[in-house]
Amino acid sequence: MIRLYNTAIRQKETFEPLLPGRISMYTCGPTVYNFPHIGNWRTFLFEDLLRRTFELLGYKVTQVMNLTDVEDKIIRASMEQSVSIEEITAPFIEAFFKDLDILRVERAEHYPRATGHIPQMIALIETLLAKGYAYKLDGSVYYAIDKFPRYGRLSRIKASEDRSYSRLVEDEYEKEQITDFALWKAAKEGEPAWPSPFGRGRPGWHIECSAMSMAYLGTTFDIHTGGIDNMFPHHENEIAQSEGATGETFARIWLHSNHLMVDGQRMAKSIGNFYTLGDLLAQGFSPPAIRFLLLSTHYRNTLNFTLEGLRQAERSVERLQDFYHRLQEYTPPVIVGMEPAKEGILEGIRSHDLEFKHALADDLNISGALSATYGLMHEVNPLLLDGRLVADEAEAALAALRDFDRVLVILEEKEQSEDWILEGIEDRRAAREKKDFASADRIRRELEEKGILLEDGPQSTRWRRKI
Ligand code: AMP
Ligand code: ZN
């Protein structure tokens, strides 16, 4: 049984996906006008923990993460530097995927870009206009908040009594102020713009997540996640847009992660108190330690970032890696008919394994999961050091630890994890040599589904990750 804390009702509830065995989730992605900082990565790692937990529990996940590649700040930068918005965003998109791989974040199934989905956004705005949820003004289109009585329900922000709202054109606003917001912004001199039935312009920020989530996951899907700062107004606006247009429930459950803090303040680009992944790697910290630190505090609590905390994470990861390597290299004693050193080791291993899964199934209780991991280590390590673990027990312990690492992903070196790609390429080469093109095509497709594209050169086949 999976229980998740649904922000919409401010409590945990039992979670059953819409389709048995399959989970659809939408995760608000980065605005690609800057390098992501580790606060952003905390949110993306929470989403990675979520999807990896579902997979560990046997579900198939379809995850969509948008890339916001048209937005006020991007447009400002493109005008200031007199280059196209693609030129502004391309290096940051590349950097995002590079960090994602370094932190071993599992790829989502889809990374749609806002600029690639303008027609879907226009169609949604047209529906909202037709249904009376939106109005045109001076070449722009706004959402009329007073037409959607449920507005404010997610964030529990009260609408004003007289229900007359001011209008806001900026993409983001942090004050708890309810305003009609822009769905489509009339083109200004020199700004990038797209043609539309409402005139040339560009979409507001919020409409992209409504349009792209519904395009890939349908009008109703299981889970919507994001950092807590996205709850208002962004997610509130997404609900108003989507449910206004379809009349159906948008996301069935909302999960929000809390912030990474520095000295009591949220880590933010605007405050300037941030570290990028590159900053920390340059100081010699390892990717698994950074991943571990960002995951090891429950997602609904704030996490105060310190370098000392990161050093401790480094030590914890090293201890777990040592244990893992010792277990991998362990040769059980070959004394025929040897009695187990201690009764109940196998049961103990099994109970740690269950404890790990139960903890994560309970709203991603990472402390419980880590205590199961340490429990396994403390139980097995002394026997390992004394050479008293029999083969079955060593195998079971290794299998449990590998299971844990499907979610934690801190034990294996990155290079090893790419073996599967190289194996796939080799198997395909062998199949082609035997003229078994059906198998060769299947292998190529399977790799592509996992985000790996193959390019055949005259001598060899190269691979790259699909962006
Ligand atoms: P942005 O690129 O600014 O759109 O942010 C991408 C994601 O990072 C959003 O889901 C934000 O909520 C999240 N985020 C931004 N700052 C922090 C922080 N200090 N801690 C955790 N998540 C954050
Ligand atoms: Zn979003």
- Which residue has the least CA distance to atom 17 on ligand 1? 39
From 160, 209, 164, 161, select the one nearest 183 (Cα to Cα): 209
| pTM (predicted TM-score) | 0.88
- Which residue has the least CA distance to atom 15 on ligand 1? 40
Q: Tell me, yes or no, if the two domains 3-257 and 306-408 fold the same way.
A: no
List, for residues 38-93, the tens digit of each pLDDT value.
999 999 999 999 999 999 999 999 999 999 999 888 998 998 899 999 999 999 99
- Per domain, the residue ranges of the chain are 3-257, 306-408, 419-465
| Residue 45, both tokens | 């790692």
The phi, psi pair for 367, rounded to 5°, reads: -65, -40
User: 216 C-alpha vs ligand 2 centroid, how far in Å?
Assistant: 14
Please report which ligand is nearest the Cα atom of 227.
1
Residues whose beta carbon lies within 6 Å of some atom of ligand 1: 28, 30-31, 39-40, 42-43, 226-227, 229-230, 259-260, 266-268
Please report which ligand is nearest the Cα atom of 209.
2
Residue type, 203: P
Indicate which atom in ligand 1 lies nearest the CA of residue 42. 21
Mean of pLDDT values over 114-140: 97
Does the pLDDT value for residue 164 go beyond 60? Answer: no
CA distance 11 to 427: 49
Lowest mean pLDDT among 180-184, 236-240, 453-457: 453-457
CA distance 433 to 447: 19
The phi, psi pair for 353, rounded to 5°, reads: -60, -45
CB 143 within 8 A of CB 240: yes
Residue 416 is predicted with a pLDDT of 47
User: 29 C-alpha vs ligand 2 centroid, how far in Å?
Assistant: 7
Please name the residue ranges forming H helices in 107-185.
118-130
Range 3-257: architecture per CATH: 3-Layer(aba) Sandwich (3.40)
Does the pLDDT value for residue 161 go beyond 90? Answer: no
Does the pLDDT value for residue 141 go beyond 70? Answer: yes
CA distance 367 to 130: 50
List, for residues 189-234, the tens digit of each pLDDT value.
888 899 999 999 999 999 999 999 999 999 999 999 999 999 999 9
CA distance 220 to 77: 36
From 19, 429, 28, select the one nearest 209 (Cα to Cα): 28
What percentage of residues in the chain have a pLDDT greater than 90? 78
Rg (CA), the chain: 25
Say whether 180 sits in a helix, a strand or coil: strand
CB 63 within 8 A of CB 29: no
Does the pLDDT value for residue 399 go beyond 90? Answer: yes
CA distance 278 to 271: 19
Does the pLDDT value for residue 135 go beyond 60? Answer: yes
The vertex-48 CA angle with 45 and 53, nearest 5°, equals: 130
- Which residue has the least CA distance to atom 18 on ligand 1? 39
Does the pLDDT value for residue 166 go beyond 90? Answer: no
Ligand 1, from 206, 209, 229, 269: best to mutate by most atoms within 8 Å of Cβ?
229
Number of helical (H) and strand (E) elements in the chain, helices listed first: 15, 16
CA distance 123 to 31: 23
Please report which ligand is nearest the Cα atom of 38.
1
CB 30 within 8 A of CB 96: yes
CA distance 87 to 91: 8
Q: What is the CATH number of domain 306-408?
A: 1.20.120.640
Say whether 57 sits in a helix, a strand or coil: coil
List, for residues 239-262, the tens digit of each pLDDT value.
999 999 999 999 999 999 999 999
From 94, 70, 68, select the one nearest 84 (Cα to Cα): 70
User: 196 C-alpha vs ligand 2 centroid, how far in Å?
Assistant: 22
List, for residues 404-463, the tens digit of each pLDDT value.
999 999 998 755 456 678 888 989 998 998 999 999 999 998 888 777 888 888 777 888
Indicate which atom in ligand 1 lies nearest the CA of residue 30. 2
Residues with CB under 5 A from ligand 2 (ion): 28, 209
CA distance 359 to 352: 10
CB within 8 Å of 149: residues ≥ 6 apart: none
Mean of pLDDT values over 88-103: 95
Mean of pLDDT values over 264-280: 93
Q: Which residues pair with 13 in a beta bridge?
A: 4
Residue type, 292: F
Quickly tell me which residue has 């804390």 as its tokens: 5
